[in-house]
Amino acid sequence: MTEIQTQFTKPMRADARRNYERLVAAAREEFADQGASAPLEAVAERAGVGIGTLYRHFPTRQALLEAVYADEVQAIALAAQELADTPPWDALSDWLRQYVGFAATKRELMDAMLEAAPGSDVLATCRTVLSQAGGELVERAQQAEVLRPDVEFIDIARMVGQIGVTPNADPQEKERMLRIVLDGLRARPVDV
């Protein structure tokens, strides 16, 4: 269970926590394979638990979608922290490559959650976690003077997120687009 998820759930026994984690992992796989509207029975079956166990942990589809999304947000935020010892430009560009993949696979989940509950506390918390993780990398790169000083994380997230969800683009095309964006974000020497 991630830090984001613990904000919205009660403490659990060890066996209940294992079932919870198995259900989240199974839902992530099922949603990736079948989309956010995949049958919940298929999620329970993939997790090796009964449908009653699924509903005890996630009384609604929305609750399960939020848990999967929060788990993915926590993973991308941790990836930013793991780049702390990497040179600032490399850390930012490596993380943005991961962010492209995150955006590509999480768009449908986020859309389904927004449709069901546009004011979700989980979505707001996830947005904050992502902004903090990306913002720290941006700030570090700007302090090292390798990133343009006039950009904010939200600018970069919007551009890179769109690369992730570009329809019919293969990984090489997405990488090429990201390189173009990164080139535009690099700090340039000031002509005097």
- Rounded CA-CA distance 187/149 in Å is 7
Whether the Cβ atoms of residue 180 and residue 142 lie closer than 8 Å to each other: no
pLDDT at 58 over 60: yes
Q: Hey, where are the domains in the chain?
A: 3-185
What tokens were used for 180? 């173009």
Q: How far is CA 124 from CA 69, 117, 129, in A?
A: 12, 11, 9
Write out pLDDT tens, residues 70-81.
999 999 999 999
Q: Report helix, strand or coil for 108.
A: helix
- Rounded CA-CA distance 165/107 in Å is 7
H/E stretch holding 55 reads helix 51-57
Fold entry, domain 3-185: Tetracycline Repressor; domain 2 (1.10.357)
Write out pLDDT tens, residues 146-167.
999 999 999 999 999 999 888 8
Of residues 44 and 126, the one with the higher pLDDT is 44
Q: Report helix, strand or coil for 70.
A: helix
Residue with tokens 């004011």: 119
- In this predicted structure, what is the pLDDT of residue 188? 87
Write out pLDDT tens, residues 111-148.
777 776 666 788 888 889 999 999 999 999 999 999 99
pTM of the predicted protein model: 0.81
Residue 188: how many CB atoms within 10 A of its CB? 7
- Rounded CA-CA distance 192/186 in Å is 18
Sign of CA dihedral 145, 151, 154, 158: negative
- Rounded CA-CA distance 36/38 in Å is 6
